[in-house]
């Protein structure tokens, strides 16, 4: 439905309109067993899924040392591990999700701050997973993540359900994303090599799809992972209402993301039977998108209308509407402060969608710090607000007084 704007200094122009769309073309990590001491498991190589999964949410299934590079050939003073960890599907079933834990190599141990970071859209294929590109410096938001590790913070980056682990990526399914984000923090704290403390402060951060995931993590925290000492959530460009985002992008440059989102909903809820609604062109596009990363997927689907790729619009059906509404945000109050930001001329996720989420949370008594980013589109809003958002989290970690601006 929506697209990460961040490409870490590499922007791909998708479609003839020339709109900058986030493009990450990560390569698969080297396959190696966790006992080998080097490399990372290949995306999708996990052995446990569904009924085979044991343990508690956040438990480590396996781990292996990896490396974190914000750009190709650019090392950092960090240690990193590729992890596979226990999480939960949108239906409440156990699953396995992959990700990466990154810790500054500064000799410090114990209760350092931990940010569980949700990336924006990278694509539907396993090779697009953030953890696949970290060793090569091709993950799209790695430069922004480095700004966090430069502050001395540890960072846990989920790959989300089905992106780098068995199954299909449940793109835009809010509950699955939020649980994966919270469980990534749990997993980081339970990884002995990382040297983190379960008593350490936790922040949640993300933009675009990552903003949806971070916001869902914020709303789920009190019921799903209340033991995590979450001090605040910083989320931007949030697609809080998927139907409004779809209406805005249908037939536009972001139309490919609508079809990607439909594929993600179908991955979480196979009973929706997306395939029976698609025409031959739609089936071709979905198959292509499931094998490629966001730049190619967004370009091939740009300017298509839902009516161009379907024989019947599934979004008019009650079962689809019910499942899509389940990913709406603003229905539950986060139990901690939130920094919420949005570009005022966002061309992919309308400004009023973010503004509505701010109103919903403020109305429930959440101390929201709302930050419109003047004259910023989707990409500009992310880049302009990333440092202020991190500064706000730093103040929360320091237990400084929080001043929302709901009034």
d(CA 371, CA 373): 6
> So what's the pLDDT on residue 49?
44
For 138-185, what is the HEC assignment?
CCCCHHHHHHHHCCCCEEEEECCCCCCCCCCCCCCCHHHHHHHHHHHH
Q: Please compute, for residue 165, the number of CA atoms within 13 A of its CA located in the half-sphere on the CB side.
A: 29
> So what's the pLDDT on residue 52?
72
> So what's the pLDDT on residue 403?
87
What string of DSSP letters covers 224-242? H-TTSEEEEEEEES----H
> So what's the pLDDT on residue 24?
29
d(CA 109, CA 240): 37
> So what's the pLDDT on residue 108?
85
Nearest to 39 by CA among 77, 82, 99: 82
Angle between helices 280-289 and 294-301 (to 10 degrees): 160
Which ranges in 225-342 belong to alpha helices (H)? 242-249, 255-268, 280-289, 294-301, 306-309, 318-325
pLDDT per residue of the chain (407 residues) written in tens, 0 to 9: 443 433 333 323 333 223 333 432 233 332 222 233 334 444 444 434 445 788 999 999 999 999 999 999 998 999 999 999 999 999 999 999 999 999 999 988 778 999 999 999 999 999 999 999 999 999 989 999 999 999 999 999 999 999 999 999 999 999 999 999 999 999 999 999 999 999 999 999 999 999 999 999 999 999 999 999 999 999 999 999 999 999 999 999 999 999 999 999 999 999 999 999 999 999 999 999 999 999 999 999 999 999 999 999 999 999 999 999 999 999 999 999 999 999 999 999 999 999 999 999 999 999 999 999 999 999 999 999 999 999 999 999 999 999 899 98
Nearest to 144 by CA among 212, 202, 76, 196: 76
> So what's the pLDDT on residue 109?
72
d(CA 252, CA 229): 41
> So what's the pLDDT on residue 254?
95
d(CA 50, CA 89): 9
> In degrees rounded to 5, what are phi and psi of residue 272?
-70, -25
Encode 47-86: b = buried (16+ Cβ within 10 Å), e = exposed: ebbeeebeeebbbbbbbbbbbbbbbeeeebebbbbbbbbb
Q: Which two tokens stand for residue 198?
A: 């379960």
What are the structural domains, with CATH classification, of the chain?
11-241+326-397 (3.40.50.1820)
């Amino acid at each position: 439905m929506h697209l990460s704007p961040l490409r870490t200094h590499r922007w791909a122009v998708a479609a003839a309109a020339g709109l900058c769309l986030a493009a990450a073309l990560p390569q698969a990590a080297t396959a190696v067993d966790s006992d080998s001491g080097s490399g990372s498991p290949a995306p999708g190589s996990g052995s446990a899924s569904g009924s085979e999964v044991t343990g508690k949410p956040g438990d480590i299934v396996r781990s292996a040392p990896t490396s974190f590079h914000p750009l190709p050939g650019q090392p950092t003073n960090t240690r990193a591990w590729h992890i596979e960890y226990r999480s939960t599907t949108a239906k409440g079933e156990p699953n396995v999700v992959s990700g990466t834990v990154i810790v500054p190599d500064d000799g410090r141990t114990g209760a350092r701050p931990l940010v569980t970071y949700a990336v924006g859209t990278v694509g539907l294929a396993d090779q697009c997973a953030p953890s696949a590109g970290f060793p090569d410096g091709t993950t799209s938001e790695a430069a922004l993540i480095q700004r966090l590790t430069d502050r001395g913070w540890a960072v846990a980056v989920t790959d989300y359900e089905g992106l780098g682990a068995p199954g299909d990526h449940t793109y835009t399914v809010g509950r699955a994303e939020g649980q994966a984000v919270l469980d990534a923090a749990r997993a980081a704290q339970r990884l002995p090599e990382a040297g983190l403390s379960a008593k350490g402060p936790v922040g949640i951060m993300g933009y675009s799809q990552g903003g949806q995931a971070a916001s869902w993590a914020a709303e789920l925290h009190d019921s799903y992972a209340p033991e995590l000492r979450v001090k605040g959530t910083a989320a931007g460009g949030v697609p809080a209402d998927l139907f409004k985002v779809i209406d805005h992008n249908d037939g536009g440059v972001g139309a490919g993301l609508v079809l990607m989102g439909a594929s993600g909903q179908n991955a979480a809820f196979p009973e929706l039977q997306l395939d029976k609604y698609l025409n031959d062109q739609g089936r071709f596009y979905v198959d292509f998108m499931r094998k490629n990363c966001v730049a190619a997927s967004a370009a091939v689907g740009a300017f298509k209308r839902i009516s161009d790729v379907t024989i019947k619009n599934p979004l008019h059906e009650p079962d689809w509407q019910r499942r899509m509404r389940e990913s709406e945000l603003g229905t539950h109050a986060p139990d901690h402060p939130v920094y919420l930001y949005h570009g005022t001329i966002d061309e992919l996720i309308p400004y009023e969608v973010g503004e509505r989420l701010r109103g919903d949370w403020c109305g429930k008594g959440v101390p929201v710090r709302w930050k419109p980013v003047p004259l910023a589109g989707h990409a500009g809003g992310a880049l302009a607000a990333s440092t202020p958002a991190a500064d706000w989290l730093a103040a929360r970690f320091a237990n400084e007084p929080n001043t929302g601006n709901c009034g």
